[in-house]
Amino acid sequence: MNYNSVVLYAYGESHYMEELSEKDFTFVNILGRCRNGLVYCVTRDSQMYSMKVRLKKELKKLPSEITLYHHPCITQIIWIYHNETQLCFLSSYVEATNFMKYIEQRQKKTKILYDEQLCFYAAQLFCVVEHIINSDSYYFDFKPDNVLICMDGNLCVCVQDEGEFLEEFHPPLWKNTHKSYQAPEVLLASPVEDDEEEILHPNKTIFWSIGVFLYKLATGKTPFADTDKKNPERTNILSKTIDFTPFSKPLASLLEKLLQRDPKQRLTDMSLIKSHSFFADIDWNTVCDTQQNKPPFQLTREEVSPSSSVPSPSYASTNHETIDLNPTPTLIAPVLCDELAGHTIINGNFYQ
């Protein structure tokens, strides 16, 4: 199934402006942290939302355009707005919990993650990556915390296209990815020369990160974890022999191809991934269709309930400077992704 994305040109005059202030939202709790920001659960008119708040001064530059991904396994941005100090993204709220932590809790109860279960979720994750790549976007900041599992058992990935905040390729920024998931070429990266750009392209590094993610889902640890703590993790990522013996032959084959230290040899072709023997039983047309698919797990409400802590409606940056949310934000453009799929918004006007 094909899903279209929307490119939103963010700072033009919009005919769909609406005045909002902090009084329009009730801050329920903190859902998580992102680079240079926090993610809140908020409510407005009895409707729950997820609000990411980022400090403008800590961004490389303000985005001139933002990709709105239209995919069932990606959280949907509804509004984007800003005030003097902050850039805020309001997204649909999903009843979900951290996928990696959910699997770890199952493993503590001696419940094994079987190949057919891992296969389903790996397929959904690869579909998300394929959609991002086909949208001509960069997804630098891969973190396990960004991968959620919903009550119905489907994955939901929180994606912010960090490439929109860059003027050019900047490999050191990729080091914001969780250190355990950084590709070797990222650890060794220096300012990019023209002939290195293809090798260091984030669409190659993301497949390494997913390989590490799948390895940990299957075993409970990354392939570079050092139980004796004799070697730094960086050294292990660059040189440690990876053990594929715990896996079935199809899974071992897939992981070995994803975890190639040479990015030129790494499996990054989605057509080859989809045809890999590990995914022999996957229907790629329906695996992300939440109306037709049958996820391996179903969660209870208790497993996805948010924290009961209620923070003060203020934002604490990474350097502990408190920024008040009181300045009235200006709405950039309200967006309903289902209606706008395949359109571009420029200065508040819609184009097919």
Q: Which domains does the chain have, with CATH numbers?
A: 6-93+305-351 (3.30.200.20), 96-297 (1.10.510.10)
Of the candidate ranges 24-28, 76-80, 252-256, 275-279, the one whose mean pLDDT is the lowest: 76-80
User: How far is 91 from 341, CA to CA, in rounded Å?
Assistant: 16
More confident residue, 5 or 105: 105
pLDDT of residue 21: 57
pLDDT of 57-77, one tens digit each?
A: 777 666 556 667 788 998 888
Per-residue pLDDT band for 256 (boundaries 50, 70, 90) equals: very high
Residue 63, pLDDT score = 59
The confidence band for 215, taking pLDDT boundaries of 50, 70 and 90, is very high
Range ranked top by mean pLDDT from 89-93, 142-146, 192-196, 282-286: 282-286
Mind spelling out the 3-state secondary structure of the chain? CCCCCEEEECCCCCCCCCECCHHHCEEEEEEEEECCEEEEEEEECCEEEEEEEEEHHHCCCCCCEEEECCCCCECCEEEEEECCCEEEEEEECCCEEEHHHHHHHHHHCCCCCCHHHHHHHHHHHHHHHHHHHHCCCCCCCCCHHHEEEECCCCEEECCCCHHHHCCCCCHHHHHHCCHHHCCHHHHCCCCCCHHHCCCCCHHHHHHHHHHHHHHHHHHCCCCCCCCCCCCCHHHHHHHCCCCCCCCCHHHHHHHHHHCCCCCCCCCCCHHHHHCCHHHCCCCCCCCCCCCCCCCCCCCCHHHHCCCCCCCCCEEECCCCCEEECCCCCEEEEECCHHHHCCCEEECCEEEC
What's the average model confidence in pLDDT over 3-8? 41
Q: What pLDDT, on the 0 to 100 scale, is given for residue 163? A: 43
In terms of pLDDT, which residue wins out, 238 or 32?
A: 238
- Between 270 and 337, where is the model more confident? 270
Mean pLDDT value of segment 162-175: 44
pLDDT score for 338: 39
Average pLDDT in the chain:
74
Closest CA to 34 of 58, 7, 11: 58
Arithmetic mean of pLDDT, 111-136: 91
Confidence of residue 280 (pLDDT cuts 50, 70, 90): very high
Percent of the chain with pLDDT over 90: 33
pLDDT in tens, 310-329: 333 343 333 333 333 333 33
N-terminal to C-terminal alpha carbon distance within the chain: 20
Instruction: Give residue 128's pLDDT.
Output: 92
The confidence score (pLDDT) of residue 88 equals: 81
Confidence (pLDDT) at 94: 85
Which residues have a Cβ under 8 Å from the Cβ of 152 and sit 6 or more positions away?
290, 295, 298, 299
Spatial distance between the Cα atoms of 101 and 121, rounded to a whole number of angstroms:
14
